[in-house]
Structure formats: C-alpha cells, structure tokens
Structure 1
Amino acid sequence: MPRKPFHSAFLAALAAVPLTLLLGLVAAPPALPAAADPVRVMPLGDSITGSPGCWRSILWNRLQSTGHTNVDFVGTLGPQGCGQPYDGDNEGHGGYLVTNVANQNLLPGWLSATDPDVVLMHFGTNDVWSNIAPATILAAYSKLVDQMRASNPAMRVIVAKIIPMAPASCAECGQRVVALNSAIDGWAAGKTTAQSPIVVVDQWTGFSTAADTYDGVHPNAAGDQKMSDRWYPAVVAALTGTTPTATPTATPS
C-alpha cells in the first residue's frame, strides 16, 4: 500500500486525538485584563450646576490633563455648550429647590438611571432665595444623602458651601447664604460615615459676587474657574482615596 504523504498522515492522526487532549496541546492566549470601571461622578444641583454650569467643563478637562482619565460624569441631563469638549452629563436642574427634590423624591430615579459612585452637590440657592430656613434645607440634604446611600452604600458625597448671592431683588439673600453655610460643617460631621464619607468644599470663601458672577448669582468665566479649582482637590481625593487639601480663605464680596 502506498504511504500517505506526511501531512495527510499527520492530519489523520490528529483527527483521532480526543478533543479534550487536542485542546491541551494548543495553549490558549491569556485573557486580557478587564479595564477598571470608571468612577461615576454625578454633579447635582440647580442652574449653577447645569445651566450651563461651565465649571464642570473646566473641572473635567483639568482631571483629564492631570491623569485622572478613568472618570465618567453622569446625569440624566446633557451639556449646554461651554466652548470646549467635555463629558457634560449632569443633574443640574435650573430653578429647582433642594427641598422640593427631597419632598418629591426625585433623586432616586436619577440615581437609578446613572448609578454614581460620587456625588458633587451644590444645592440650595433657590431655597435661600425662597427664604427657607437652613434647618429645613439641611433636612433635605439628609434625605438626599440617605437616598444616595440606599442606591450605593459606599457613596462618596462632596457637598458645597454654596457661593454667595447678591441679586438685585433679594437684599437679604447674602446673609441667608451665610446662615446656611455656617451650619453645613456641623451637619456633615453628624451625617458622615466611614463607609460613605461626606466632604465639605467651601465654594463661598473668596468668591466675589461682583467679580465672579454676571448677575449676583450665577458664575461668569472667572467664577466657573474658581468653582472648578475648589472642587478639584476633593474630586481627586474621592478618585484616589486620599484626603483633600485645604483651600485658601478670603472674604467674599
């Protein structure tokens, strides 16, 4: 009988090898390591955060340029311009009161839709304008934090002392902001936990309603830069698990 060519004989022999042994002869390539999921950060608030809230674009681009690229800003609302590419998803609802968001249970739906790991909250300007008492605003903060923790027990919460106000129609608003902000540190100290820490960022000190807003309330370009600069150390700390650095103090106007 004539001999089969070598390659034919080899293929015939190979066909007779059980599949389990054959797989063992050919080493499978190692699986690629899964990329770490990005840290999901929700900017939460009113028009100062979302209409257009261009401090977010400055903050996003600074994070990217300093190597903090594994971050995803999230929210059910999208960007509104700002003149540069950025991840503009947010939960900054123009005209909203934090007390209404709490009373109407709006936050759980936003959390369910976006699943954040970190929340940046600058909220209460419209409540102050509406002459709602600081204790009532802080009770709303507490309810929102409870809802955040129900969504994610390890939620990292970064809460602002809100920027100063001097609208033409509300001479008392400036002092009302002071009253709210003076109570935020104590509220945060009583509400923070090891698993879900609350960090307070002072957006009030050194912020000028004359130089840093266009109407006594909403930040202009200089104000957006200041807000971004204040958020940045606390966001980096949340991303890296470190302690945020202190911000300088000055008197607002």
Structure 2
Amino acid sequence: MVKVGALTAFGLLSLAGQVMAQQSVKVMPFGASIVTRCWRNNLDAKLKAAGVKNYDFVGSQQGSQDCLKQFPGTDNDHEGHSGSQATDYAAKGNLTTWLNQQPAVDVVVMFLGHNDVILGHKPLDTIIKAYDTLIEQMRKKNPKMQIVWSNLTPVDPKRWDTSSNPNNSKDIAALSARIKEYAPSKSTSDSPVYFVNNFEGFNPVSDTDDGEHPSTSGNEKMASKFLPAAKEAIQAVSRSSGIIRGVLGVRRVTMADRRRTK
C-alpha cells in the first residue's frame, strides 16, 4: 500500500478542486431586468435536484439577497441589466465585453426583448437583426456555444398598453411568435440553439408583480420551462469535452479509456 502524506494529500485535493473549477460548464444568464429575478436561482436548484452539478453560473451581476433566501446555496451570478435592449447590446458590443470578462462561457441562457418593444418601440425586424448580431458575437467568442433562447412572457395590456404605444402587449406577443420560429432556425450542429417557450402558459396578471416581471409563481413557471433545455445544453458540453469524474476530480477521457469501454 502506498502511503500518502498529509501535505501530499492536501496538494492533490487542491489540484482536484482547481481542475473541477476549470472543467465546470460555464453558464451565463443574459438579458435585462427579468434575468435579475429569482427564476435563475429556482433553475439552479432544479438542475441540482436533477443531478446536474458540473456547472457554474457566471456574470458580472449579482441577484438579490431575497433570491438566496428563497433558494439557499444557489448561484446568484448573472448578466442581466435592467432597462437594457437587445438593439443597444448589439450596437455597442456589450455582450462581447462581458463574455471576455468571464472564463470561457459554454452556455448562454438568454431572455431579452421586452424593452426593445416597451421602451424602444423598435420594429420587430430591427430586433431580429439585433439577435443575429448577438448570436454572431456569442459564436465568435465560442464557436461551439450552446444557446438556450427563450421567447418573451406576455405583458398585461391594462398596465403596459400606454398612450405612447397602445400595442405593447400585441407587439410582445408578435415578437414572441417570431422568436419561436427564429431561434430554431439559428441552430447548428456545432452551436445548437434550444428554444424555450415561456410565452405559453404564463399569465401576465397572476404570474407577475407589475404586469411584466415574474412573481413567485412566474419564477416557478420560468424555471420549469428553462430546466429541460438548460440541462440538455450543460450535459452536451460535458459530453463534447469528454469529461468524466474521478476520485480526485475530473480528467479527460483518453483513447485508452474509450477502447476499454468497447
């Protein structure tokens, strides 16, 4: 039997921890104010409950402490910026900057577009062109980026159809329908796009605090909708990188490993 000293064992465990950190799948929740809400923490809890643990949410922003109280021990990192628009992100290159600030991002979980309609009054074609640019920026940073893309939740017309734009709710519905067709069309074998339908089944009155931003019930619905696609994307990265877990951490599968499993 080979004896391992305490310092050696500590060094091995430290190395294993570093390898685990390097090999964990990096997931960036990306968007505007709705991304700051607690559905992210709820999703994190659901992923872990489903046995998906080799991942790390990343981003320059931190969610509210209330989300951590609701879901203790969950990851609060994200890249959601209140009031932001997809068209501005695309024009200013914000996403590229944020991707460069993080370790290599493997998965982007995207929910973005309400403000382009409600605040920016942008034509739908203009918003779609901005989405094109954002996808290009993601894939320039990582040609194998896994993209989990949701359409928008509906808004309450009584609260958000205003004198400046009496068609906000209809335009949100129209954009959501466009995303439903658009997102799958952007999928490739190297960089899949997983469409998530958060529009269907979401009640803008009972599932929001203000006719737009999700309440507790809305957060639960969104997390449940995101779960299958997020799980699939994270596991796809793990499979493609050939990561298997060992006693001391993680190592890459070698050709010898593959021959032994045949």
Equivalent residues of 1:97, 1:124 under 8 A apart: yes
Equivalent residues of 2:184, 2:195 under 8 A apart: no
Counterpart of 1:128 (choices 117, 130, 149) is 117
- Give the C-alpha shift of residue 66 in structure 1: 2.0
Counterpart of 1:117 (choices 100, 106, 109) is 106
- Give the C-alpha shift of residue 112 in structure 1: 0.6
TM-score of the two chains, using structure 1 as the length reference:
0.79
Equivalent residues of 1:166, 1:173 under 8 A apart: no
Equivalent residues of 1:99, 1:136 under 8 A apart: yes
Counterpart code for 1:118: V
Task: Please list, as runs of the form range in 1=range in 2, the aligned pairs for 1:142-161 lying within 5 A after superposition.
Answer: 142-161=132-151
Is residue 165 of structure 1 aligned with residue 155 of structure 2? yes
Task: Please list, as runs of the form range in 1=range in 2, the aligned pairs for 1:153-232 lying within 5 A after superposition.
Answer: 153-166=143-156, 168-170=159-161, 171-232=166-227
Equivalent residues of 1:108, 1:147 under 8 A apart: yes
Is residue 77 of structure 1 aligned with residue 66 of structure 2? no
Counterpart of 2:76 (choices 88, 91, 97) is 88
Q: How many residues align?
A: 215
- Percent of residue pairs bearing the same amino acid type: 36
- Give the C-alpha shift of residue 190 in structure 1: 3.2
Gaps of 5+ in 2: 238-262
Q: Which structure's CA Rg is the greater one? A: 1
Equivalent residues of 2:27, 2:107 under 8 A apart: yes
> What stretches of structure 1 move > 6 A for 4+ residues in a row?
26-29
Equivalent residues of 1:49, 1:56 under 8 A apart: yes
Counterpart of 2:91 (choices 103, 106, 130) is 103
Range with bigger deviation, 32-41 or 111-120: 32-41
Equivalent residues of 1:42, 1:116 under 8 A apart: yes
Deviations 1:45-101 (A, max 9, x none): 111001xx1001111111122211111000011121212331111001000011111
The CA distance in 2 between the partners of 1:227 and 1:217, in whole Å, is 13
Greater share of residues in helix? 2
Counterpart of 1:38 (choices 24, 28, 34) is 24
Deviations 1:119-157 (A, max 9, x none): 011000001113211111111111011000011010001
Instruction: Using CA pairs under 8 Å that are at least 6 residues apart, name the structure with larger relative contact order, 1 or 2.
Output: 2
What is aligned with 2:256? none
The CA distance in 1 between the partners of 2:34 and 2:177, in whole Å, is 20
The CA distance in 1 between the partners of 2:107 and 2:225, in whole Å, is 16
Q: Give the SS at the match of 1:196.
A: coil
Counterpart code for 2:45: N
Counterpart code for 1:158: V
Equivalent residues of 2:160, 2:168 under 8 A apart: no
Q: CA RMSD in A?
A: 2.2
